[in-house]
A and B are shown apart, each in its own frame.
Chain A
Amino acid sequence: MTLDQKRMIVASLSFLFLAALLIVAWVEGGKQRLQPKPKPVVGAESGKCLQCHEQKTPVIAEQWKDSRHAQLGVSCYECHRAGEGDRDAFLHEGKTIATVVSPADCGSCHQDLAREFEHSHHSKAAQFIGSLDNVLGEVVEGPLAAANGCWQCHGSTLAFAKEADGSIRRDKTGKPLLDPMTWPNTGIGRVNLDGSRGACSACHSRHAFKKSVARQPEVCGKCHMGPDHPQIEIYEESKHGIAFRTRIAEMNLDSPSWVLGEDYTAAPTCASCHMSATRNQPVTHDVGARISWTLRPVVSKRLENWEKRRESMKDVCHTCHAPDFVAAFYTTFDATVDMWNRKFALPAQKVMDALRARGRLTPTPFDEELEWSFYRLWHHEGRRARMGVSMQGPDYTQWHGFFEVAERFYFDFIPKAREAAHGDPEVARVIKASLDSPEHAWLKGMSPEERARIDAFYRERYGAEAAR
């Protein structure tokens, strides 16, 4: 190879190299540079807390550093500080603090949210204590079932652990100890030692307090699930839930502002419809503010101010759906709830009332099988049917809902009621009247035309064999 050729090779290779360098520069130009994140600000009083707790509870410290609070300088002491006179205050390394941070503490900054929450149904969740459900949990099942079950969602009433002489039990540093039956607890209606109600961390899991966590359906699903109120399952079954699960990456869950139709359009979560901002209304922490029916009791009722509530929910619907669509949905939804009330709830209620009035049932709840049957009818199956239709879960409306309602009503509740009546004519009259409406007329047998129609249908769809 001549020198000249070599030089040409060097020249061409260096231009090739230069081209490669240009590509490098191009790659560099397209690189997304990490933006510097503001460092967590440790408040003047919290430096010492962190020194210890980074070692002892590293996860709490790390989660906090990852939080928005950390960026704002809201650190340990700012939330855990307590007044000298607070019931749960104790001296810890020279500072007066409290373990449990209550909505009153959070509300010192987040006043509006705290106020909304205070007015919400959520904050009263622990008031079920006097209800039938509580009897069931605490008495029929046992107190531990209530403490680890019911109260974990509804909220406990925080109390101190007591010594034998009735004084508050303290550890060797003088810290008052909480009654383990009541704490740890993040039930949404927790009654706190300062008298405030609720636990913000029920949804805003500490200590990172990510908005994204509170916006996920899962956070609601901790409690709103199961046989008696399967909201999360209904949601997952619905088109809304399917869209969410599929397009979760497009949900913009971490965005500071989260307006439906502006910051995200992929799907609605529980929060989207019940709490979050739309273009016309702000976010609310009064979680029932957009609910027009109460589907909880035996007989569903329209809530106070239901028209206004309905309008605000419709406003959410209208972000994605046309008015006719929404109106048609509400027409059948209302009619279905009415059907439940008329066809099953009211008659069953009347039968129960008659039995009680006639002394055919003891005053003690849940000591007779009929009471369990009735309870299942309205508290489990009836709610499933109503909630299923309210959130567009077809299977929960029908198979898990009205199908089971019907079976329970006709073949469990009514026979058991007849049994319990022991031939009491008054009760028998009420039962007969209950089944007298046209909705129950089918029990008396189908007309020949009706039977012929069903026959014809089967023949056409499944063939002559199946018609038999």
Chain B
Amino acid sequence: MRAFAGYDFATGDKNPADGKRQEFFNFLPTNHPHYGYMDYEGWRNIRSPYSGASLYGQGGRRGRPEPVRAGPVRAADPRRRRFPPGLSDVNLRVLMENRRGFLSRLLMMAGLGSVAAGVSAMATRYLYPLKAVRLKRRIFLAPAADVPAGKGRPYRLPDGSTALVTDTGADLVALSDVCPHLGCKVRYEGAQGNFVCPCHGGLFEKDGTAIAGPPADEGKNLKRYAVTRVGENLFIDIEETVQP
């Protein structure tokens, strides 16, 4: 496997008629003598970028490497004419023209390709949703007097969930009514003074600690909201997800 790229440059004569030879002169055009005419004509007056790759594999006959395909040599030479090593500028003139075609095609493809890539990147960015924003805020819950001591009371929060607020005497506890086991809604049982999940019999203390059933086995308590008292009123801290 071989990849190559290069740029050949040989100066030319500014004015061929003035008798001065100004071009680059390749004294010995090939490293092998006696190839014929090409021995007399060296590289001059050219600009020639080239690149390519060739791959050598096991040929039909064992042990003798043989070029199988030279990829972009074809690209460099759209007419698929292989040039012998050691190029004379007679052939080069043909090659140069084709290389120019190759160059313009390459540039055009590169340009169109990058434009397409840019446009698709923009479209993707446009369609892909922006990151959701989490907004934490403290909102009004209720006047403190509205939460009777010792009894739980449900309050609907703006995101649709419910907070069960209990004045335990020592503390104000606001709990999410979503059971941490599989998401059923727990209920406050006044007689027992605790929360019961009707689905699999999860049982929680007034402060949300799981005491029986699957939630207790998994050690998952009810989610607690922070409640703050401001003056005569209660405020609760909630977190919302907002999709911009």
Binding site for B on A (CB under 8 A): 4, 7-8, 10-15, 17-18, 21-22, 24-25, 33-36, 38-39, 41-44, 71-75, 78, 81, 107-111
Q: How far is the CA of A24 from the CA of B125 in the complex (A)?
A: 13
- A38 contacts B240, C-beta separation under 8 Å: yes
Any A CB within 8 A of the CB of B135: yes
Q: How far is the CA of A75 from the CA of B233 in the complex (A)?
A: 13
Within 8 Å CB of A111, what residues of B?
Answer: 231
Closest Cβ of chain A to B212, distance in Å, is: 32
Q: How far is the CA of A14 from the CA of B114 in the complex (A)?
A: 8
Q: Using known A-B contacts A4-B101, A4-B104, A72-B140, determine if residue A21 contacts B235 with beta carbons closer than 8 Å.
A: no
Query: Which residue in chain A gives the minimum CB-CB distance to B97?
Result: A4
- B133 contacts A21, C-beta separation under 8 Å: no
Interface residues on B, range: 35 or more
- B122 contacts A10, C-beta separation under 8 Å: no
Within 8 Å CB of B138, what residues of A?
Answer: 72
For B217-241 the 0/1 string (1 means CB < 8 A from A) is: 0000000000000111101000010
Any A CB within 8 A of the CB of B242: yes
Query: Which residue in chain A gives the minimum CB-CB distance to B112?
Result: A14
- A74 contacts B143, C-beta separation under 8 Å: no
- A36 contacts B143, C-beta separation under 8 Å: no
| Contact pick for A72, options B110, B137, B232, B244, CB 8 Å | B137
Query: Which residue in chain B gives the minimum CB-CB distance to A107?
Result: B231
For B24-59 the 0/1 string (1 means CB < 8 A from A) is: 000000000000000000000000000000000000
Q: Using known A-B contacts A25-B122, A36-B133, A43-B140, determine if residue A11 contacts B242 with beta carbons closer than 8 Å.
A: no
Q: List 9 A-B contacts (CB under 8 A).
A: A14-B115, A18-B115, A36-B243, A39-B158, A41-B139, A44-B156, A73-B158, A78-B140, A109-B232
Q: How far is the CA of A35 from the CA of B131 in the complex (A)?
A: 12
Q: How far is the CA of A33 from the CA of B130 in the complex (A)?
A: 11
| Contact pick for B104, options A7, A15, A18, A109, CB 8 Å | A7
Identify which of residues 99-153 in chain B touch chain A, using a CB-to-CB cut-off of 8 Å: 100-101, 104-105, 107-108, 110-112, 114-115, 118-119, 122, 130, 133, 135, 137-141, 143
Within 8 Å CB of A107, what residues of B?
Answer: 231
Query: Which residue in chain A gives the minimum CB-CB distance to B111?
Result: A14
Q: How far is the CA of A13 from the CA of B137 in the complex (A)?
A: 52
- A7 contacts B105, C-beta separation under 8 Å: yes
- A8 contacts B137, C-beta separation under 8 Å: no
Within 8 Å CB of B242, what residues of A?
Answer: 36, 38-39
- A21 contacts B244, C-beta separation under 8 Å: no
Binding site for A on B (CB under 8 A): 100-101, 104-105, 107-108, 110-112, 114-115, 118-119, 122, 130, 133, 135, 137-141, 143, 155-156, 158, 230-233, 235, 240, 242-244
- A14 contacts B108, C-beta separation under 8 Å: yes
Query: Which residue in chain B gives the minimum CB-CB distance to A44?
Result: B156
- B143 contacts A108, C-beta separation under 8 Å: yes
- B118 contacts A21, C-beta separation under 8 Å: yes
Q: How far is the CA of A107 from the CA of B135 in the complex (A)?
A: 27
Closest Cβ of chain A to B150, distance in Å, is: 22
Q: How far is the CA of A75 from the CA of B141 in the complex (A)?
A: 11
- A10 contacts B108, C-beta separation under 8 Å: yes
Query: Which residue in chain A gives the minimum CB-CB distance to B114?
Result: A18
Within 8 Å CB of A34, what residues of B?
Answer: 244
The 3 closest A-B pairs by CB, nearest first: A14-B111, A73-B139, A11-B107
Closest Cβ of chain B to A458, distance in Å, is: 68
Within 8 Å CB of A72, what residues of B?
Answer: 137-140, 235
Within 8 Å CB of B105, what residues of A?
Answer: 7
- A108 contacts B107, C-beta separation under 8 Å: no
Q: Using known A-B contacts A17-B115, A44-B156, determine if residue A36 contacts B233 with beta carbons closer than 8 Å.
A: no
Query: Which residue in chain B gives the minimum CB-CB distance to A83?
Result: B145
- B104 contacts A8, C-beta separation under 8 Å: yes
**Given A38-B135, A71-B137: 17 more A-B contacts, CB < 8 Å:** A10-B112, A11-B111, A15-B111, A17-B115, A18-B114, A21-B118, A22-B118, A24-B122, A25-B122, A33-B130, A41-B139, A42-B158, A44-B156, A73-B139, A108-B232, A108-B233, A111-B231
- A11 contacts B108, C-beta separation under 8 Å: yes
Query: Which residue in chain B gives the minimum CB-CB distance to A10?
Result: B108
Q: How far is the CA of A351 from the CA of B137 in the complex (A)?
A: 65
Within 8 Å CB of A35, what residues of B?
Answer: 133, 244
Q: Using known A-B contacts A36-B242, A41-B158, A73-B139, determine if residue A18 contacts B111 with beta carbons closer than 8 Å.
A: yes
